[in-house]
Structure 1
Amino acid sequence: MKYETHKLCGVISSFAVGNIILSDVPVFKRVIFLIVISIFGGLGGTFPDVDAKNNNWNKIFGSIFKFRHRGKMHSLIPYIIVYLVIYNKILNNVHNHELLILYIIAISGFLIGVISHLALDIITVRGIPILYPFTKKNYSILNLRTEKHDKYISFILKMSVAIYIFNEVKKYK
């Protein structure tokens, strides 16, 4: 999938999960939290491609990861381990309740974005090594081709957002 599709899916999926999780939060805080989770979801949605030669991460930071593309960075296991370590560090070191919540929302948005990226790549012909380091085997659920199906997936994501916004606006009429 293309960078824009991954970023869009990261933003949308983190916003959707955040909207469900934060449904009981007062409106002002909820808006702030949804903005934070969506921004970090977009970053997480593009991060697994940090190992690709021509990506926006390398344009900003230089080539920081020298792995084979769709290799180690396309496995869910390292992200879960890093998430749990960071989550634990935040819980033990941040004592301001509001700041603690903001940090947890940010790292959760990033992880949701990463998961959305892996979900998009696992439906392509090439697949991903989702269970690395246990196995290097690439798993694929569907046989979609990026050059052929990327625009359709992007369209579906955009339509989902439009339908969601339409339904939300209808609630307030």
Structure 2
Amino acid sequence: MEGKTHAIGGICLGIATQSYYITQSMDAPETIVYYGACLLGSLLPDICHPGSWTGRRARVLSKGISRFFGHRTITHSILFILLIYWLTSTFSFQYDELVQTGLLVGIVSHLLLDAMTVRGIQLFYPITIRVRFPMYMKTASKAEGIVSSILVLSALFLIYKQLFA
């Protein structure tokens, strides 16, 4: 999937998570932190690809991860989710739980979307089994455009539901 689809997916899953699982209301700074973390998390797994949005901003780290692990391996796995959970558990500041939740929600959205592609992901890395949905698509295809549109419409529906329910 392309970066824009991942960004939309991260925000959409963030809205769904807030709608159904985050029980306390968030003020403006909390909302910005949470959705910022969702957005960052949705792009973070592609740090293994030097040409990605994240890879271009952390080029040295991206090239190292790419050379050592390859694309869609460790950063597209349960191991990565656990690593980010552990790292963010060491945070101690005002919005630490919102950052942790947002990052994890964004990462999960990324993995779900990449599991919908022809190549799939190595969800159980270091085990080399590739995981993908039975119905899959090529990156940057018309089908991806349809998925992006569905995600935007879903996000708008969830926002409408939050505001007027």
| Range of TM-score over shorter length | 0.7 to 0.9
Q: What number of residue pairs does the alignment pair up?
A: 158
Alignment partner of 1:149 is 2:143: yes
Cα gap change, 1:108 to 1:5, in 2 (>3 Å): same
Residues 109-140 of structure 1, C-alpha deviations (whole Å, 9 max, x = no match):
0111001000001121211000002x112111
Provide the C-alpha distance between the structure 2 equivalents of 1:86 and 1:163, rounded to a whole number of angstroms: 31
Amino acid at match of 1:38: Y
TM-score, normalised relative to structure 2: 0.84
Match of 2:11 in 1: 11
For 1:13-46, what per-residue CA distance to the aligned partner results, in whole angstroms no more than 9, with x for missing partners?
1232123333343xxx444323211111111101
Gaps of 5+ in 2: none
> Separation in 2 of the partners of 1:22 and 1:160?
18
Task: Work out which of the residue numbers 39, 50, 54 in structure 2 matches 1:53.
Answer: 50
Matched, 1:64 2:61: yes
Task: Give the aligned partner of residue 138 of structure 1.
Answer: 130
Cα RMSD of the aligned pairs, angstroms, is: 2.0
> CA–CA distance in 2 between the matches of 1:5 and 1:56?
12
Q: Aligned residues: percent identity? A: 24
The 3-state SS of whatever aligns with 1:40 is helix
Q: Which amino acid aligns with 1:45?
A: S
Q: 1:73 aligns with which of 72, 75, 86?
A: 75
